[in-house]
Amino acid sequence: MELLPILKLLGCLALLMYGMKTMSEALQKLTGGGLRKVLGTMTTNRVTGIFTGTLVTTAVQSSTATTVLTVSFVNAGMLTLAQAISVIMGANIGTTVTAWIIALFGFSIPMSSIVFPLFALGIILSYMKNGSSKSFGEFIFGFAFLFLGIVTLRENAIEMDLPHNETVMNFFVSCRSLGFLSYVIFLLLGGILTMCVQSSVAIMAITMILCSTGVADIYQGIALVLGENIGTTITSNIVALNANPSARRAALFHLIFNLFGVCWVLLIFRPFISLVCTSVGFDPKADITLSDDASTRINYALCAFHTAFNTCNVLILVWFIPFLEKLVCKIIKGHGKDEDEEMRLKFISGGLLSTGELSLLEARKEINHFAMRAHRMFGFVPQLLKIEKDDDFAKLYARIEKYEGISDNMEVEIASYLNRVSEGKLSPESKMQIRCMLREISEIESICDSCFNMSRVINRKHRSKENFTQEQLENIQHMWKLCDDALTQMEKILGDSNHTVDPRESLNIENEINAYRTQLKEKNVSDINDHKYDYQTGVNYMDIIGDSEKLGDYAINVVEAHTQIKLTS
- How many C-beta neighbours within 10 Å does residue 170 have? 10
The tens place of each residue's pLDDT in the chain, 569 residues long, gives: 456 767 777 787 787 778 777 776 776 666 655 656 666 565 667 788 888 888 877 766 666 667 766 776 676 566 778 888 888 888 888 888 878 877 777 666 666 677 788 888 888 887 777 777 887 888 888 878 877 877 777 677 666 666 666 677 777 778 877 888 888 888 998 888 887 776 777 788 888 888 877 788 888 888 988 988 888 887 667 766 766 677 788 888 888 988 998 999 989 988 888 888 888 877 776 655 555 566 778 888 888 998 999 999 999 988 888 888 888 888 887 654 444 455 556 667 544 445 555 677 778 888 998 999 999 999 999 999 999 888 999 999 999 998 998 888 889 889 988 888 887 767 777 888 899 999 999 999 999 999 999 999 999 999 888 889 999 999 999 999 999 999 999 999 998 877 788 888 999 999 999 999 999 999 999 999 988 889 999 999 999 999 999 999 999 999 999 988 777 65
Output the pLDDT for position 78: 63
- Helices then strands, counting H and E runs in the chain, come out as 22, 0
CB contact set of 345 (below 8 Å; sequence gap of 6+): 242, 366, 410, 413, 414, 417
Query: Taking the mean position of all CA atoms in its chain, how far away is CA 519?
Result: 48
Q: Is 327 exposed, middle or buried (0-12, 13-18, 19+ CB in 10 A)?
A: middle
3-state DSSP helix/strand/coil % of the chain, to nearest 5: 80, 0, 20
Burial status of residue 280 (CB atoms within 10 A of its CB: 0-12, 13-18, 19 or more): middle
CB-CB neighbours of 554 under 10 Å: 21
Please state, in angstroms and rounded to a whole number, the distance separating the CA atoms of residues 518 and 512.
10
**Please, what is the Cα angle at 437 between 569 and 450, to 5 degrees?**
65
DSSP classification of residue 106: I
- Gyration radius from the chain CA atoms: 30
pLDDT at 234: 78
The answer to whether 520 and 545 are in contact (CB under 8 A) is yes
| Separation between Cα atoms, residue 211 and residue 99, nearest integer Å | 14
The CATH number fitting domain 341-563, selected from 2.20.25.90, 1.20.58.220, 2.30.30.100, 3.30.1360.180: 1.20.58.220
Domain ranges of the chain: 3-331, 341-563
Q: Is residue 43 within 8 Å of 72, Cβ to Cβ?
A: no
The answer to whether 39 touches 438, Cβ cutoff 8 Å, is no
